[in-house]
Structure formats: C-alpha cells, structure tokens
Structure 1
Amino acid sequence: METAQPRRGRWMRIALVLSLAANLVVGGIVAGTFLREGPHRGGARGPDHGFVYYRAFTEEERRALRQAIRQDMGRDADAPQDRAARRAAFLDGYRETAAALRADPFDPAALDRALGQQNERATERRARGQEVLVEFLAAMAPEDRAAYAERLSREIARLAERR
C-alpha cells in the first residue's frame, strides 16, 4: 500500500500564510499597546519610526493625547456598545482569515479579501488618529507647539544617528 506524499507547494503556502498571520498579530499588539500605554522608551528595539512624533511630546502631553484618542475612538466608559462592536469587527476579521485558511480547496482570493478588509479598517483608524493628532497640535499654545517642534527635531536627529 502506497501513502500519499504531501505536496511541497501546499506546505510552503501554509507556512507563508502562518507567517503573515503572525505579523498581523504582532502589529495588533503594538497598536494596542500604543493606544493603552504609549510606546516605551529605550531598549534595543531599534528605531520606532511611527513613534517619533509621540516621543517628542512631554509625558503630560502624551497622557492628554492618549485620552483624546480614546475619547475619539469611543473608548471612554459611556460607549460600551461601540467598544463591543469594534471588538466584534476586529475578531470577525481574524475569524474570516482563519476560515479562508481552512477552506479546501484553498482560495487565495478569499484570504486576500479578508486581509484587505482588515487593512482597510486599520487604514481608517490610522487616518482618524492622524486627524486627532492634528487637532491636538492645533489646540496647543504657539510656544508649546514651538517647544514640541524642537523636541521633534531632536528625535529626528536621534533617529538619523541610529541609521
């Protein structure tokens, strides 16, 4: 009796998809940590290109910015239904990805659609975060904005030195 040998191409696809899924999980953890606590300073994490603007704020400004982001995204205590809907949509995206991975025969287009929808939601959140940042900076006094610009310039110089 002869046993069927697994096809190498299928296992390569599975490995690629698992790698992509792991990257998405890491990205979600980083984004969640940023919204909850802000980025951590120091360490050997390498340059945090996305956090240069954030690191240039004082600790008090960071707290205020995090609060503004939470309020804008409905994370405050008076909007539990919004939080639940966002969480459900977030989890549904991962469930759709898992379903696409389990499908036999595997449909790369279904996986691409599921990942594309997750990407669209992330892009929308990033764009709204940018709007909140602009509003936050616009509300600062001119001298505070100038001080922020100086700190930002120092952060940019630090980033350039690391490269």
Structure 2
Amino acid sequence: MTETGKAAAAPRSPRWMRIALVVSLALNLAGVGVVAGAALGHSKKPPHPPMVNDLGFGPYTDALSAEDRRALRRAFVERAPDFGELRRLMRGDFDRLLTILRAEPYDAGAAAEVISAQRDRARKGFDLGHELLLERLQAMQPAERAAFADRLEQVLSRPPGHPGKGPEREPGKDAAKD
C-alpha cells in the first residue's frame, strides 16, 4: 500500500524557522510596547484593545514620575498623531498571522512578510519612543534625574512577576492594572 496522499502534501517548514518567527514577533511586540506603554499605558481613557493594553515601556515607564509619563504621552501624541492607525494595522497583521498559522499547508513566507511588516512599524514607534525618553531625561534637573535613577533601581531590584508597578502612583489607582 502506498502513501501518495502524504507525498503530495507541501513540505512543512522546519521547526527552527517557526521558532525564529515567534521570537521575531515577540521582539517586534517589545518594540511597539516601548512606544505604546509610554504614550498610552497610563491614560485615564477607557482600556485599549488587549494587544496595546498588555504592552508597556518596561522599567523605564515604571520609574518615571506621573508628570513625566503625562509629558511623554503628550509629546508622543503630538509627534505621532497617526498612532491609532498603527494600532489598527497591527491588529490586522495579527488577524492575518493567525489565519496563516492555522492554514495547511503552512506558508512560512507569508508569515515572515506579516512579521516583517510589524517589525518595520514597531521600529518606527520604538525609535520615536527612544527619542522622546532621551529628550525627557535631558530636560530633567539633576535632582529629578537622580530621583528617576533611584526609582529605576528600585524597579529593577523587584523580583520577576512582582505585581506592583512604579513607586509613584496616583491615589486610588490599582498599580497592578496600570
């Protein structure tokens, strides 16, 4: 008995390629997180879609004062007024990627194309977030920078998975939900 059905199926991508794509996606999301968290993560607006809501600026955002976070958010909105469009495009990318991941045969090229587009968008946002953070640090007085350094050190010394965010929170806000 021959297995002609299996011979006709398209070859699957190697496991290492799928792992590389997932790792690449995670790095892309981290880049978008830098920007999205700084610009939107501490807003009093209704929650953003889960894709954006779960992203953050990491320990830098946690160590910034509430005023610094507001200033970064304002600067980001001024310099990237089309950020909402970026979020919409990223959501569409994820929808396409989910379809690609579930399809048989798996199309590694199509997945790479979607993830590359995400990387390119994330890089633009990451670059702006990087620039804005550096500008904010430059604008700080020496005492403000020292206080930021102290808060950053405190944030970095917490064990992984610690539910609290930065040391400075607005009254009545649950830090774990920020």
Which TM-score band (shorter chain)? 0.5 to 0.7
Distance in 2 (CA, whole Å) between partners of 1:160 and 1:87 is: 29
Distance in 2 (CA, whole Å) between partners of 1:121 and 1:29 is: 12
**Partner residue in 2 for 1:66:** 73
1:26-57 deviations in whole A, cap 9, x for unaligned?
A: 86789645532439xxxxxxxxx943333333
Q: Which runs of 5+ in 2 are unaligned?
A: 1-11, 44-55, 160-178
Q: What secondary structure sits across from 2:106 in the alignment?
A: coil
Report how far residue 162 of structure 1 moved. 3.2
Matched, 1:95 2:59: no
Identity of counterpart residues, as a percentage?
A: 25
Higher helix share: 1
**Partner residue in 2 for 1:35:** 39
Q: Which runs of 5+ in 1 are unaligned?
A: 1-9, 40-48, 75-81
Count how many residue pairs are aligned between Structure 1 and Structure 2: 133
Matched, 1:117 2:117: yes
* TM-score, with structure 2 as normaliser: 0.53
| Counterpart AA for 1:52 | P
| Counterpart AA for 1:118 | Q
Given the superposition, is the C-alpha separation of residues 158 and 131 from structure 1 closer, same or farther in structure 2, using an over 3 Å criterion?
Answer: same
Query: Do the aligned partners of 1:72 and 1:132 also contact (CA within 8 Å) in 2?
Result: no
**Partner residue in 1 for 2:158:** 162
Query: Do the aligned partners of 1:69 and 1:132 also contact (CA within 8 Å) in 2?
Result: yes
Query: Do the aligned partners of 1:35 and 1:69 also contact (CA within 8 Å) in 2?
Result: yes
| Counterpart AA for 1:157 | E
1:61-98 deviations in whole A, cap 9, x for unaligned?
A: 22112111122110xxxxxxx35643442233123312
Matched, 1:145 2:152: no
Query: Do the aligned partners of 2:63 and 2:151 also contact (CA within 8 Å) in 1?
Result: yes
Superposition RMSD in Å: 4.2
Distance in 2 (CA, whole Å) between partners of 1:147 and 1:108 is: 51
| Counterpart AA for 1:162 | R
Given the superposition, is the C-alpha separation of residues 157 and 72 from structure 1 closer, same or farther in structure 2, using an over 3 Å criterion?
Answer: same
